[in-house]
Amino acid sequence: MTRLFRAYTVRENYKGRDTVIVDWFCSKRETPAVEYENLVENYGELGEDERARAHKLIDHFLTESEIKELDRYMDGNFGFEVKSKPLNLPFKDGRKIPNFAAPPTPADEGDYFDLSSNQGYDLSVPISGFYDLSEPPNLISYMN
């Protein structure tokens, strides 16, 4: 089975913070990297809206080859390292898939940026980033 990963970069001294985590995600996947039914144990129990949400969240995660592309791109263009953590698959509950691509509530602070809009972008999937400024300064939560 293809493995999926959370991809992130640790930024130092950013927007008045000692450290900020930038989570990388596929912003628009044309076809699933892995069949959804194989990634969620209770897939058959999910309603239509729950399945659509699960698909969207699963599509955000990156494959190993996509992370390698992103790491080369980030290192070559910005000098930043991309770290990754493999996900424990399959997900037990499709309603509880982690969301590293968006703030959990509208009150949280952060911003998005779209790497694929940069000139010279040549990765196989469009990748965007989200940095969360809602955590107190100097607090790093690598693996939520």
User: How do residues 60-71 score in pLDDT, each as one tens digit?
Assistant: 999 999 999 999
Residue 144 resides in a domain = no
Residue 87 resides in a domain = yes
Residue 140 resides in a domain = no
What residues make up the domain containing 73? 4-132
pLDDT score of 26: 95
The band of 144, judged by pLDDT with boundaries at 50, 70 and 90, is: very low
CA pair distance 88, 93, nearest whole angstrom: 12
Residue 101 resides in a domain = yes
Residue 53 resides in a domain = yes
Note the pTM of the prediction, 2 decimals: 0.85
Cβ neighbour number for residue 116 with a 10 Å cutoff: 14
How many domains is the chain built from? Answer: 1
37: DSSP letter: G
- The mean per-residue pLDDT over the stretch 72-97 comes to 94
Residue 45 resides in a domain = yes
DSSP 77-127: HH--PPEEEE--SSBS-TT-----SS-SSTTS-EEEEEGGGSTT---SS-E
Let me know how long the chain is.
Answer: 144
User: How do residues 39-51 score in pLDDT, each as one tens digit?
Assistant: 999 999 999 999 9
Asked if the model's pLDDT at residue 139 lies above 50, the reply is no
Residue 137 resides in a domain = no
Residue 139 resides in a domain = no
CA pair distance 62, 33, nearest whole angstrom: 8
